[in-house]
Structure 1
Amino acid sequence: MARAGPGQGAEDRAAQADLHRRPHARLRAGRRALGLTHGPDPLNVRQPPPVFWAGAVAFLSLGLLALAVGYGWLGPDVDRGADFCETTDGLVRQPVNTFSNLGFVAAGLLIAWRAGSPGGLGTGTMARHPGLATAYSCVVVLLGPASMAMHATESEVGGHLDMASMYLIAAFAFAYAAMRRWGRGPGFLVALFVGVIVLCELVGLYDATVPVVTYAGNVAFAVFLVAALALERRVARAGEVVLDTRWAWAAVAVIAVAFAVWNTAKTGSSWCDPDSLYQGHAVWHLLGAVSAWCLYRLYVSERPAAAPVTVHVAAVWVAGDRAAQRGAAEAKLVEELGLSGVARLCPRCGSASHGRPQALGAADAVHVSIAYAEGLALVAWSDQPVGVDVERDLPGRDAGDYGDLPAWTRAEALLKTSGEGLSRDPGDPPDLWSAPLDLPAGWAGAVACAVEAEVSWRPGAPAGPPRPATPRTGR
């Protein structure tokens, strides 16, 4: 458990100790205190995280596959996939090629875990439609068991499942890029996704051998992947959003290497050893999983290309106790933003006596943050999640195991931004944007935001010399 940080009083420690006491009743009481009595109770509509759905898909699909292989549900061995070198007489016909597909399951679960973590959806389309990230993670997971069905049984049905999973990933990549390229919604994506799968299935009916790629379905898969990347390039060049195209290049480079290895893995090639633990087709699977991860990182790198986000920070120099400083800070926010008031609501225990500040009566959606140290209060606001912190930086005072006071204020600002507070170890703060504040000697402060931002800093001026404080070591 993380130790209490500098400036944390007995009142805050008592609140932390009471954090989990009667959480449901306290949350509802906190909502009533803020006037949040309309709409559905969040306790009744809370959705499972993305990793729950991806995990469920993995569990069910792998379980069904195990049963299908054990009971022969997928039909007889017709040498489907026999071109990929490996062969045994066991229940699982191609063990290395089969189990290497667990890389897709791992990649899908990793994508789902990141999608459910703070900042894991980015600030673009995935953040506005988080269900798409969950859907993508499930599609990546399904690549594994579907391909395993072919390599484990070499059956005709297994071969169809293998191709169908490839159509799923290509269709998603193409439909997601097209949706953003032409400014459409998820309904458009779903319709196009289904249409691409149907078209790929029709192409796959051509049963003649195709040079290099063997199956006609592989041609359809490649065409839609290339088209998806071309559309991603158009999205980036349109100027409305910014994409970190390094992830696109990484996805392309990895899949290109994978395809080169795939071509060395065919039966009869000089690289083929049916009994070896090294199977080039297994490398194709593992690198394909890495490429799917890179594609997700491209998606969540999207951010608006409009004017940079601005974080406003104002200093309120005020003497008095914590209650006076808090009151002055809230009054400053009311004045600056035209609010009807500022309240608090802890998302974990429902208390209205602590937690993230809530701007009441704001004309537009706004996020606010408050911090205070002796003689000084800071307020910050932005249209993106924001956090601010300040501490008296006196000789002999540090943040204990967490370094100096500037490092501590940065960590606290980041934790306020993510909404985690001191429930997360300040030594491992979230990877978000932050900046130090230019304060007079004797104070250290920092501001953080969910996205890269410009700071509008209003330092003000002290009304008089600050009260002397007793140096101490923060522990």
Structure 2
Amino acid sequence: MNKQLFFRFLGIAFIYTFGMIAIWACLNTWLSGSVWNGMTLSKSALTVEYCEFNNSEAFFHQSMNTYSNLAYFFFGILVFQIAQFDFRNKENNTQNKLEKFPLLSVLMSCCFIYLSFGSAFFHASLTYLGQRVDMNGTYSISIALLGIGWYHLLHKIEFSEIIKKLWFGVLILIIIAFLPLSLIISSSKLLPFMILLLLISIAIHYIQFRQEKSFILAILGFVLMFIAVKIRTLDVQKINCDPHSLYQGHAIWHLLTAMSSFCSYAFFRFSKIQPLQTKL
């Protein structure tokens, strides 16, 4: 995939994202917070977990924390276009395992979009149901990336189309299974463990194919996640907190984790050597 085509995909993702901003802005103008009446409040709402002011009269109770989830939507649209490209050019993609398994890119794009709407639902409503969907969306991104990472660790095995579909299906079942699992194991323990597993798989794959893989993307994914965790922690601790400011630490967390997740995906998807023949 050449740079011109990638920038074209970026432009299309921006257009869709701006369109979604307009839709969400209209919904936030036309609807009120009464839409969420009757739904059980989340523990986060009761403890005032995040800095941003809870405007219960508005449809989006936390506007910045809601709109910032469109960062996930943007990368979801971008990755979906890459998946479509890979489907069209699968016979030419002989240098990269992920290019030959576009269903994993489809899963990644769906997880991005799932998290975008799930987390927006939570911050707009601050309900228990929203919090559960938000957390499951977060886990889905990690599961998709781990599925991609483990697939690459089995680089000596050539997956048949049936096995690829089974791999895809199992990852979906795992994401569904995490809905009840997240109630049993604390996210403060489970999520860091999953991130650690991802970093290990990235490190192993880089060592195996260092001439083909980008060290910058590998490190950038980790650095962005590290900064995101620090900013989220400051937001939860209410350090330099202004509830009515346009700047909200948790909103920055959304942006940075979206970028970190895409960098980790891009590490596996893009090689320094790309096929010459492609179908647009």
Same fold by TM-score greater than 0.5: yes
Over residues 296-343 of structure 1, what are the superposed CA-to-partner deviations in whole Å (9 max), with x where a residue is unaligned? 221222479xxxx9xxxxxxxxxxxxxxxxxxxxxxxxxxxxxxxxxx
Corresponding residue SS for 1:242: coil
Change (3 A) 1:177 1:419: closer
Name the counterpart of 2:264.
295
One-letter identity of the residue aligned with 1:193: L
Change (3 A) 1:156 1:282: same
One-letter identity of the residue aligned with 2:136: A
Tell me whether 1:155 sits opposite 2:166 in the alignment.
no
Separation in 2, partners of 1:285, 1:71: 24
Tell me whether 1:190 sits opposite 2:168 in the alignment.
yes
Tell me whether 1:113 sits opposite 2:81 in the alignment.
yes
Structure with larger RCO (C-alpha < 8 A, sep 6+): 2
After superposition, where does 1:213-362 map in structure 2 within 5 Å?
216-239=186-209, 242-266=212-236, 269-302=238-271
Separation in 2, partners of 1:272, 1:279: 8
Over residues 344-386 of structure 1, what are the superposed CA-to-partner deviations in whole Å (9 max), with x where a residue is unaligned? xxxxxxxxxxxxxxxxxxxxxxxxxxxxxxxxxxxxxxxx64x
Corresponding residue SS for 1:252: helix
Give 1:115 deviation, angstroms. 4.1
Name the counterpart of 1:403.
none
After superposition, where does 1:82-161 map in structure 2 within 5 Å?
82-87=48-53, 88-89=55-56, 90-116=58-84, 123-161=95-133
Q: Confirm or deny: 8 A CA contact 1:124 1:303 kept in the other structure.
A: no
Q: Confirm or deny: 8 A CA contact 1:201 1:217 kept in the other structure.
A: no
Q: Confirm or deny: 8 A CA contact 2:225 2:256 kept in the other structure.
A: yes
Give 1:105 deviation, angstroms. 0.6
Separation in 1, partners of 2:215, 2:141: 19
Separation in 2, partners of 1:178, 1:74: 43
Over residues 96-131 of structure 1, what are the superposed CA-to-partner deviations in whole Å (9 max), with x where a residue is unaligned? 111111111112112223444589997412221222
Give 1:69 deviation, angstroms. 7.2
Separation in 1, partners of 2:171, 2:165: 10
Separation in 1, partners of 2:147, 2:126: 31
Over residues 267-288 of structure 1, what are the superposed CA-to-partner deviations in whole Å (9 max), with x where a residue is unaligned? x523222121111000000111
Separation in 1, partners of 2:136, 2:74: 20
One-letter identity of the residue aligned with 1:224: M
Q: Confirm or deny: 8 A CA contact 1:101 1:144 kept in the other structure.
A: yes
Name the counterpart of 1:181.
153
Q: Confirm or deny: 8 A CA contact 2:75 2:112 kept in the other structure.
A: yes
One-letter identity of the residue aligned with 2:49: D
Decide which structure has the larger Cα Rg and report it.
1
Over residues 392-438 of structure 1, what are the superposed CA-to-partner deviations in whole Å (9 max), with x where a residue is unaligned? xxxxxxxxxxxxxxxxxxxxxxxxx4467xxxxxxxxxxxxxxxxxx
Give 1:205 deviation, angstroms. 1.8
TM-score, with structure 1 as normaliser: 0.45
Q: Confirm or deny: 8 A CA contact 1:101 1:148 kept in the other structure.
A: yes
Give 1:244 deviation, angstroms. 1.8
Separation in 2, partners of 1:255, 1:110: 20
Name the counterpart of 2:3.
none
Separation in 2, partners of 1:218, 1:68: 33
Separation in 2, partners of 1:239, 1:197: 29
One-letter identity of the residue aligned with 1:221: L
Change (3 A) 1:273 1:153: same
Separation in 2, partners of 1:200, 1:116: 28
Unaligned runs of 5+ in 2: 1-8
Give 1:257 deviation, angstroms. 0.5
How big is the alpha-carbon RMSD for the aligned residues of Structure 1 and Structure 2?
3.6
Match of 1:204 among 175, 178, 182: 182
Over residues 226-274 of structure 1, what are the superposed CA-to-partner deviations in whole Å (9 max), with x where a residue is unaligned? 20221222233345983223211111111111111000101x5232221
TM-score, with structure 2 as normaliser: 0.73
One-letter identity of the residue aligned with 2:114: L
Identity between Structure 1 and Structure 2 (%): 20
Give 1:171 deviation, angstroms. 0.8
Q: Confirm or deny: 8 A CA contact 2:98 2:148 kept in the other structure.
A: no
Over residues 151-182 of structure 1, what are the superposed CA-to-partner deviations in whole Å (9 max), with x where a residue is unaligned? 11110000000101011111111122112212
Question: More strand by proportion, 1 or 2?
Answer: 1
How many pairs are equivalent? Answer: 245
Change (3 A) 1:86 1:134: same
Separation in 2, partners of 1:199, 1:166: 13
Q: Confirm or deny: 8 A CA contact 1:244 1:302 kept in the other structure.
A: yes
Give 1:71 deviation, angstroms. 3.6
